[in-house]
Structure 1
Amino acid sequence: MSVLLEFSIFPLDKGVSVSEEVSRVIEMIDSTGIEYQLTAMGTLIETPNITEALAIVEQAAQIIHGAGCQRVYAAIKIDSRPAREHGLQGKIESIQKRLGEVNLNPGVESD
């Protein structure tokens, strides 16, 4: 089974820039070893089941509250498919088979 979960989460009481709090969440996601993709507007994760995906979101909220934030906003989208594995990469590859290479990270240079 593959569960893709896209979410954005951030404090509402820390001003215009919230990259410090969001960076803490990304560090936590990275430390879990799950596959993820950071985007400009949120983060995609892939887990074997919904329980694990929602646990990541819960941990993210705890991290932001733990940083002294009194109010946290989160938006979540879930794509659950029992017969799929490696959905995060597979969905991209499916489009690339039809179109060829696509711009996955506009404006971002990697080493």
Structure 2
Amino acid sequence: MSTIAELSIFPLGKGASLSPYVAKMVKIIQDSGLDYELGPMGSCIEGEWDEVMNVVDKCFKAMEADSDRIYVNLKIDYRKGRKGGLKKKVESIQEKLNL
């Protein structure tokens, strides 16, 4: 697995609480079977490029069905040969901080 993507996606113009929409996106991510971590401002997804982008596309299309305007922020870290990067990247920093 060599792609880690941090995805934030939500509709605009739907009121103050967007958690029902975000929960639908997290369900799509869960159902993908890829490793992921839910964060307060987005979800990180790890897998091969095509797998990750397929999940991003599914999230967008599901959001599009309910929304006329969508905010998407996508950050991607691609690295050949990496496996378990979601955990290893954090562990590397924690090690350097002696946590």
**TM-score, with length taken from structure 2:** 0.92
Partner of 2:69: 71
Code of the aligned partner of 2:18: V
Unmatched tracts of structure 1, length 5 or more: 102-111
Q: Distance in 2 between matches of 1:61 and 1:11?
A: 10
Distance in 1, matches of 2:87 and 2:13, equals 35
Q: Note the C-alpha offset of 1:100.
A: 3.0
With normalisation by structure 1, the TM-score equals: 0.83
Q: Measure the CA separation in 1 of the matches of 2:63 and 2:72.
A: 11
- Return the structure number with greater helix share: 2
Runs of 4+ in structure 1 deviating by more than 4 angstroms, as ranges, are none
Shift of residue 72 of structure 1? 1.0
Count of residues in Structure 1 that have an aligned counterpart in Structure 2: 99
Q: CA RMSD in A?
A: 1.2
- CA shift at 1:65, angstroms? 1.9
- Per-residue deviation, 1:27: 0.8
Q: Which residue is 1:29 aligned to?
A: 29
| Identical aligned residues as a percent | 38
Counterpart Cα distance in 2 of 1:55 and 1:47: 10
| Paired letter, 2:96 | R
Deviations 1:29-85 (A, max 9, x none): 11111111111111101012x22211111111111122x211111011100000211
2:68 aligned counterpart, secondary structure = coil
Secondary structure at 1:53 match in 2: helix
Cα drift, residue 18 of structure 1: 0.9
